[in-house]
Structure 1
């Protein structure tokens, strides 16, 4: 169903706007808040296209949307995403979503419309999903905050959400301020979030040499210095690239989700999406099992780090938002410890995902926060199940 012709949406953020929002329950704890819904969530009476021209399965009604309505928030409409959530720029079968403040640049994905809807103050918060960075990347590039809960969090249900990868999918919110993220989370859990003192918090700084451009590196270091000024103990840590585990798992599961559409010679997906899904369908059981074995090794490694440290700090993106249609980025450059870091041109997708995918692959709660550098964000990563503490640290940082 098309948007109303008088609705101004130059960023192409909105997939569906009903004549009237879905009203929340009166008097609920979120009754003064409005939200947008990424077009993967099933909402009775609203269409679901996952921003593709191809047919997609019906996931049923979203448990999370229903709970938010019961808590009083009103749902304004559905937002566009990178086609079927398989990408990080926001491109889709309906033209793609542009950056909220620079139409020549991407908003990030896959929750592109979600980020734009909050960045432009069209809603108070937005429902997104995150399988490899799909909340955190658009939050960073649009200058807002995003929260990816612990995978399988009982109050952030993925029931009634069209999956990309049931192993890595997370449901979560984006908002202009951490305070709104914390308020929504507190209403869902029944436990108000309190600010957490940074004094004595052990922060592991993950900032691999050559993985970002100089602007992102300096923004991350400045953020780390700000945490140290609040009393945190910041030390460098190392993690490997985990795409050898992430990509086979996500592509094989995405191909299974869209198996029926893939039976057609040309089901209607964009060429990149179709190629990625067919690549996933061609993976053998042995290849996928090897990826799960690697995932278990990476999980043990991260669990060890999060025993030695309370949280990790990392860049959320490798560069500021790229131009629409840009497939490669330059990372590296500048100096580290007096040593010049060589520049490298690499595919945009790999440059982004190697920073964000580990924490969705391994299911750890993560908050994306804006920095003093426009449209550059950082990630704070907590231990499994310590979502309340992580959001409390985010609240204290914001305050």
Structure 2
């Protein structure tokens, strides 16, 4: 699907659109599919800005993009993101990206343009990244599917991708349906993925009291009831908020990634981004090590849950998509900063590296997460396939 420089882009989703796509190899398993590339991935001959006016490092060629081209998919351009991937709304130095169906609302981030590109049918799938929810949040708010692989998945390489946090970064896809995501996974791994029967599957429902609004709570409970109708058992579980580990790790590593730009008097970052990076740079070694120690404790808790449950179900967002410029949201427990309300639901599974799928619900622009044990990606995708097919 050629996308010319004149292609309409009122959502400001596209960072770069060549006159002709990068054609995939003929006869490959992904031949006929097009994909967009988040502007953190290195593509020879294409610029890399990370949607910031600040200077960024050259990362070389993305191994993943090269593999997808070799498998037959064609790359149609690069999509905008929340500046340097440090945020969850889509704000950036190039006008910021808006929701695909409501110009007054945010699409989610940081893979904002990625979600918009597939929601509008401008690409069959999109390459995003996820450090704390950056695939799952825009997938949920734009009504599409997203997949964050297990950390270190050999077929979802982050080599040639500008990092935000090497501890928490993941590469992964978004698409209008999970079937397309599965087709990409099968091509990369060489393994078929079949729908998995939900009968007897032990589901841990993580729906912390007061963390969402009523619409999201009802949508999540309705999804859980649907799993029970398919034969799963659903039991509430508890996990704590993990931002006390997540934030110091990500901010300290992001400050190291962008250390050269931070030495400039006026680096060119948006004010929030600059403040967050300086906060990360000011963290002491002891504070960061304490965050890693807490991460180990949280990993022990999550691993314990997976001795009793096969998969976890959780909301992917606390509310439907907020308005542009909205800094706070109303959830059951009151008014909270948007960043905290969102990330406390999604960050644990990037922090701990577990595979996670974001699926739309029957409530518009509200998604849920299915979380599997590390390395159990194919089974998780198979369960998602069965849900999508109504099986």
Common fold by TM > 0.5: yes
Residue in 2 aligned with 1:307?
307
* 2:169 is the counterpart of 1:179: no
Residue in 1 aligned with 2:88?
88
Residue in 1 aligned with 2:10?
10
Q: Deviations over 1:258-281 (max 9, x none)?
A: 000000121000000000000000
In 2: Cα distance, 1:185 partner to 1:103 partner = 32
Equivalent residue runs for 1:1-399 within 5 Å: 6-332=6-332, 343-399=333-389
In 2: Cα distance, 1:28 partner to 1:37 partner = 19
In 1: Cα distance, 2:143 partner to 2:9 partner = 19
Displacement of 1:307 in angstroms is 1.2
Q: Which runs of 5 or more structure 1 residues have no equivalent in the other structure?
A: 333-342
Query: 1:215 is paired with a residue of what secondary structure?
Result: helix
In 2: Cα distance, 1:226 partner to 1:117 partner = 29
Displacement of 1:4 in angstroms is 6.2
In 2: Cα distance, 1:209 partner to 1:217 partner = 9
Task: Tell me the C-alpha RMSD between the 2 structures.
Answer: 0.8
Displacement of 1:12 in angstroms is 0.2
In 2: Cα distance, 1:33 partner to 1:111 partner = 20
In 2: Cα distance, 1:328 partner to 1:282 partner = 26
In 2: Cα distance, 1:265 partner to 1:304 partner = 48
Contact 2:248/2:291 (8 A) holds in 1: yes
Displacement of 1:6 in angstroms is 2.3
Q: Deviations over 1:118-162 (max 9, x none)?
A: 000011000000000000000000000000000010000000000
Q: State TM-score, norm by structure 2.
A: 0.98
Q: Which runs of 5 or more structure 2 residues have no equivalent in the other structure?
A: none
Q: Deviations over 1:185-236 (max 9, x none)?
A: 0100000111000000000000000000000000000000000000000000
In 1: Cα distance, 2:32 partner to 2:340 partner = 40
In 2: Cα distance, 1:4 partner to 1:186 partner = 30
Q: State TM-score, norm by structure 1.
A: 0.96
In 1: Cα distance, 2:4 partner to 2:89 partner = 26
Aligned residues: 387
In 2: Cα distance, 1:12 partner to 1:67 partner = 27
In 2: Cα distance, 1:152 partner to 1:78 partner = 24
Displacement of 1:7 in angstroms is 2.2
